[in-house]
Structure 1
Amino acid sequence: MDIKNIVKLEDCEREMLRQVGLTRYYKRGENIFCHGDPADRVYLIESGWVKIFRINGNGRYVTVGSIRQPGEMMGLAEALHGVERTCNAGAVTDVQLVTIYREKFFELLECETLLALKVAKLLAFRMRDAEMAVHEIVTRQVAGRLATLLLKFAESCGQQVAGGITIEPRFTHEELAAMIGASRQTVTAILTAMRDEQCVEIEGGSIKITNWHALQRFIS
């Protein structure tokens, strides 16, 4: 089930957020917020892609909460809770955001009950997705986790092209590894196997799914 279709903000709701927020721009690779920062604002992504991640004790990046895409809000849970950031947010591509300070956001939610309900639903579905991600790591091998991730991206942000579906934006092998709790070397090896099985094509960092059903076999 696609979260963005369940809790999609209407144009008028996005405009409400713009009216009480400020537009900010970030370059690819820049941090938007960091672990330990005060959670005094929430964000609406206007364009670009953002990863939510932590850095483990070995200095490795671990992506949590998957990837936030255009039209999504982020930074909600900690801002609503009034605690410090427990994760980092980094720009996967160049990003345009609307930044809404916590007090303004609360005032808006008090007036707009439908928007408040959508925020509650979004947080509930993200919690469910986090639980499912933990289940995937515990119960599936790395190949199955990677195949599941690629199919998920194909559904949520894939571009239909000749011969298959291209995943946008382009993710590095290290970024994919961080999303599924694996090493970069393992992800590279599995992608090579998927290419050899003619499930995917890889060119210039771009991944195109060419055989959906064959890729699903990596999950079982």
Structure 2
Amino acid sequence: MATTCCNIRSDRLTRFLSPDQLQRLKDHMVWKKVQAGSPIFQAEDPAEFLYYIEQGCVKTMKTTSDGQEITFGLKGGGDLIGLVDLLSDSVQTYGHNAVAFTDTLLGVIHKNDLDALLVQYPSLSFAFMQWMALEQRIMQTILRDIVLYGKPGALCSILIRLANSYGQPTDRGIRISLRLTNQELAHLIGATRESVNRVLCRLKSERVISLDHGHLVIHDLERLRNEARCEECPLEVCVI
């Protein structure tokens, strides 16, 4: 059975920023601890701050007019959140909510300070644009899977992305370090909890996945790839 994964969460940003560039950014940040479940920003808030996740996990999401929650991502250590548009001078809002999914340590920098750094160090500006392009591609591929491959395929795709982002290889398979309820998985693909329950029950009965004290364990990654009609995206794109 295929159980190979690559947890690439920790080096997402450092693909584009050198250690010196990242440290320069951190030197201008204020650090804050946020408890699990606490809001970081709201959709209607002015997008005045950029947040660097040093430790923990942040859920980015939005609630629709009829009260349904849609989760855009589960961002972890080494990720940035809150960056809207580097090139616009107009006041913008974040457009979505960010909530600490686990206890989280954040570095926070005001947009004015970030703008000054980008002007002073053009290579830093180019690195940010590369990072934003990657984030856009990640979101596009998630939406592609939801639209083209239905809820079962989209769920299998999310499980693969979780393995790449938060997977821990064990002798039993790939253990997802985050604890996710079926409802939380449903929010990631715009599905109902009941439809997610049915797919997970089938995958468990076929020994593709199992549960270990509330943590998903993936035993057959290749089977998930087949069900998701995997298009062999680069690993840096196949994340959540």
For the criterion TM > 0.5, the same-fold answer is yes
Deviation at 1:112?
A: 2.2
Larger fraction in helix: 1
Identical amino acids, percent of aligned pairs: 27
Deviation at 1:80?
A: 5.7
Residues 1:203 and 2:207 are matched in the alignment: no
Deviation at 1:151?
A: 0.8
Query: Structure 1 residues 188, 8: CA separation in 2 closer, same or farther (over 3 Å shift)?
Result: farther
Unaligned runs of 5+ in 1: none
Match of 1:138 in 2: 147
Separation in 2, partners of 1:185, 1:9: 42
Match of 1:101 in 2: 110
Residues 1:117 and 2:126 are matched in the alignment: yes
Amino acid at match of 1:205: G
3-state SS, counterpart of residue 149 of structure 1: helix
Residues 1:77 and 2:84 are matched in the alignment: yes
Separation in 1, partners of 2:75, 2:127: 16
3-state SS, counterpart of residue 77 of structure 1: coil
Provide the alpha-carbon RMSD of the alignment.
2.0
Match of 2:180 in 1: 171
- Indicate if the aligned counterparts of 1:45 and 1:70 stay in contact, CA closer than 8 A: yes
Q: Higher relative contact order at CA 8 Å, sep ≥6: structure 1 or structure 2?
A: 2
Query: Structure 1 residues 192, 175: CA separation in 2 closer, same or farther (over 3 Å shift)?
Result: same
Separation in 1, partners of 2:112, 2:157: 38
Amino acid at match of 2:171: A
Unaligned runs of 5+ in 2: 1-5, 230-240
3-state SS, counterpart of residue 140 of structure 1: helix
Residues 1:28 and 2:28 are matched in the alignment: no
Moved more, 30-39 or 75-84: 75-84
**Which TM-score applies when normalising by structure 2?**
0.84
Separation in 2, partners of 1:10, 1:28: 30
- Indicate if the aligned counterparts of 2:16 and 2:128 stay in contact, CA closer than 8 A: no
Match of 2:163 in 1: 154
Separation in 1, partners of 2:87, 2:213: 41
